[in-house]
Amino acid sequence: MTEVKLKIDGMTCEGCVKSIQKAFSHEPKVEQVSINLAEGTGTFKTNLDAATIIMMIEDQGFDARTI
């Protein structure tokens, strides 16, 4: 497991946070998701690479990039 930290743009309420968390809830290669709404960041404890995490976030309608 490594820690992937991303800047996530477009989150405006707790519902946005939930939709991102839900996208990872059935992904066993993502062990922990920590989203900071105020900061617009997300930290993922995962075996997936950053590009895959970014794609999964962008599928939910947000922009993400490595910090």
What is the binding site for ligand 9UX (CB under 6 A)? 12-13, 15-16
For ligand 9UX, which is the closer residue by CB, 16 or 50?
Answer: 16
* Least distance CB 28 / ligand 9UX (angstroms): 26
Q: Write out the two tokens for 60.
A: 């939910």
For ligand 9UX, which is the closer residue by CB, 18 or 29?
Answer: 18
Q: Write out the two tokens for 61.
A: 């309608």
Reduced 3-state DSSP string for 4-63: EEEEEECCCCHHHHHHHHHHHCCCCCEEEEEEECCCCEEEEEECCCHHHHHHHHHCCCCE
For ligand 9UX, which is the closer residue by CB, 8 or 48?
Answer: 8
* Least distance CB 13 / ligand 9UX (angstroms): 3
